Structure formats: C-alpha cells, structure tokens
Amino acid sequence: MSIAAVPFPESQPDGYTWFENEPTFNPAKHLALAKPEKIRYLEEFGYSPDEIKSKASPVAVSSPFRVLSDEGAQVLLNTARLLKQHAISCERIENMVRGGCYRSRFLRDLCVDPSLTQLMCDIYETDVAPHTMPVHLGHMNFSPDDLSKAVDKWHHDTLPLDIVMMVTDPKTLDGGQFEYFVGTKAEMADLAAQGLTPPIDRVEAPPFHGPGYGIALHGDMVVHRGAPLNSAGERISMVNGYVSTNCALDDQHRHKDLTLVDDPVVLYAEWAKHSAWRAKERLDDLVNSMNFSSDSDSIADELEFAISDVTKTIAEMRDKNKHEMHHYEKS
C-alpha cells in the first residue's frame, strides 16, 4: 500500500484559511471501519476483459459499509455545514464544495487516513493512494435549492476511484438517494442520444444505513447520480478520491472539466503535479528496465509513453477553446 502518492501540500493556496477550534481527527475515536458485504465487478456491468485490463481496478461498486463512528459522523456533519458557505454551482451540480481539505484539518486528515486507505486497497483489490489532487479529496454535495433538479445528474466521474459517503442521515430524507446504472458508459451514451435515462430495472439504489456509511465506486466506469429530493431536506454527501499507484495504467481523468468548477489558483498546480507524478513513475520504470536495443523507434515510443500525461496536460492547459462539462442529461 502507498500511503501518499503525492504528500498533501504543506502550504495553503491564497484565500484559504483553516477553520478554528475544530476537533482534531483521531482515527481511534472517529472511525468505525468495516468491510462491505458484497463487491460487484465491471464485468457484471458489461465491460469486456480488454476494457477492464488497463483500468485502475476490476471492481465496479461495493455494498454500503461503515466508515465513521457516531462521533466522527457528527463532527463531519458540523464540518460540512461550515463548508457550505463556500458552495459553488455548475451545470451538473447546483450546490457543492471543492477544496475543503484546504480549510478543514479534520476533513483533510480523514481523507488521507492510512487505515481508511488500506481498507480501500482491500476493496479495490489493488494498491491505491489518496488522490494526488486535493480538490478531489472530501468533495461535498449539498441539496439543490430547486427540488426539480437532481442532486447530481447522471454522469461518470472525472477521476478513477472514490468512496461516496452519506454525511446526513438518508433515513430522514424523501428522495435524494444515490443511484447507479448497471451497464456501460457506451450503453448510457446511446440512451442519452435518444433523450432517455436508465431503465428502472437497471438502476440500483444501495441502502445506506446511516450517516458515516459509504460505498466504494469505480467512478470513471460506473454511471451514477444523486437523485432529486421529493421534499425539502438537508442532504449532504462526501466523495473522496483515490488513484492507483500503478502509473502504467490509464489515467482515467477528465481534468479539463475541472476548469469549469475549480479555483484556478489551486487547480493548475495540482493538475501539473499529478501529471508530473505519473511521468516520474513511468520514467523511473524506464530507467530501471530499459534494455539495450538498436530499435530507436521502439525506444522513442517508450519515452513518448512515459511523458504522455505531461504532453496532454500542456496541450489542455494551453487550449483556450470553450469546454463543456460532460454528463448524460440535456438539461
């Protein structure tokens, strides 16, 4: 297990200050980790072995499992309510908070906790680390002001792996359930092209048993949403991101989407560090494994692959054309 692929920054971006008088995160007090009873795999969702082999994990989704103790769930709820003053909106989500780990030490320490990370390694059946980009740590979704809107539209994530955890008690809500489509992204794209949403018999809504319970999700591969509320209520969920420590695998990110929501002071440096980390890992592998050969094209291909994330990042950062956020709903 890799505890941290890229250590959390020691300094804060301009404009971010720590909350005062927060409880200090204590895993012995605030965690109550338990393994999920069931794991579902990408193959069950219709993906082929060729589609799966280059991805971060063969796992699609887990059943709900406990993450936080009662005390930990209450502290996280208080933290989320403090963070709500920094809520922003986008085409997909009406109320969300990004970058909360630069404001709350409790949230930061929860999101990078080694024992939680080890549990996620066990569930994903591969080595993972807390996401290299802190904007993907402790993302919060809040109830929409407009009840006709979903908490989050049908989509697949901008990152590979995450845990989706309820911060408020779902049993107190009418609607607002987390749902996922038992199918592939290609199937969902075909449905969306026809103006359709997933058929009811292929939609699962896992029963979260209370606040502080979560599911592991292969967010880049499993199409999902936060359903609309039927009546007003406080609905808060947290999404914590993870990356595979095997940088030879697909990146599985849509970094360009983040330019539509994230603070540019934070985003570009994090994005660059993520791409540099992947290139460094690949270059280190190349240095340690390069064999003697007169095949210059093959060696050039290996070098090109090693730096491909950096090359793509540079091109996307310099592309000033209008970008649209990806999701599967027309409105």
pLDDT tens by residue, 125-158: 999 999 999 999 999 999 999 998 999 999 999 9
Q: How many CB atoms lie within 10 A of CB 126?
A: 19
Asked whether residue 115 carries a pLDDT value surpassing 90, the answer given is yes
Across 186-294, the runs of DSSP E, i.e. the strands, are: 203-204, 213-217, 224-226, 236-244
Residue 266 banded pLDDT, cuts 50, 70, 90 = very high
Pull the structure tokens for residue 186: 């290609």
> What is d(CA 109, CA 97) in angstroms, rounded to the nearest whole number?
17
Q: Between the CA atoms of 241, 246, 251 and 252, what dihedral angle is there, to the nearest 10 degrees? A: -50
> Residue 175: which of 246, 230, 232 has the closest Cα?
230
Q: Which amino acid is at 136?
A: H
Q: How many CB atoms lie within 10 A of CB 118?
A: 15
Asked whether residue 1 carries a pLDDT value surpassing 60, the answer given is no
Average pLDDT on 53-70 reads 98
The predicted structure's pLDDT at residue 331: 62
Average pLDDT on 168-179 reads 96
Q: Which amino acid is at 323?
A: H
Which domains does the chain carry? 27-251 (2.60.120.620)
pLDDT tens by residue, 273-287: 999 999 999 999 999
The predicted structure's pLDDT at residue 330: 77
* Cβ-contact 217, 161 below 8 angstroms: yes
Asked whether residue 9 carries a pLDDT value surpassing 80, the answer given is yes
Asked whether residue 52 carries a pLDDT value surpassing 70, the answer given is yes
- Please list, in sequence order, all residues whose beta carbon lies within 8 angstroms of the beta carbon of residue 180, skipping any fewer than 6 positions away: 61, 203, 204, 206, 217, 222, 223, 224
> Residue 324: which of 266, 258, 278, 257 has the closest Cα?
257
What letter would DSSP give residue 18? Answer: P
Q: Write down the mean pLDDT value for the chain.
A: 96
* Cβ-contact 224, 156 below 8 angstroms: yes
Across the chain, the runs of DSSP E, i.e. the strands, are: 39-41, 59-62, 65-66, 96-97, 128-130, 139-142, 152-155, 161-166, 178-181, 203-204, 213-217, 224-226, 236-244
pTM: 0.96
Residue 2 banded pLDDT, cuts 50, 70, 90 = low
> What is d(CA 115, CA 134) in angstroms, rounded to the nearest whole number?
18
H/E stretch holding 282: helix 264-289
How is 96-146 classified by DSSP, letter by letter?
EE--GGGT-HHHHHHHT-HHHHHHHHHHHTS-EEE-SSGGGSSEEEE--SS
Q: How many CB atoms lie within 10 A of CB 33?
A: 15
The predicted structure's pLDDT at residue 4: 81
Q: How many CB atoms lie within 10 A of CB 103?
A: 21
Average pLDDT on 262-275 reads 97
pLDDT tens by residue, 77-95: 999 999 999 999 999 999 9
> What is d(CA 133, CA 156) in angstroms, rounded to the nearest whole number?
18
Weakest-pLDDT range from 37-41, 148-152, 211-215: 148-152
Average pLDDT on 4-13 reads 91
Residue 218 banded pLDDT, cuts 50, 70, 90 = very high
The predicted structure's pLDDT at residue 259: 96
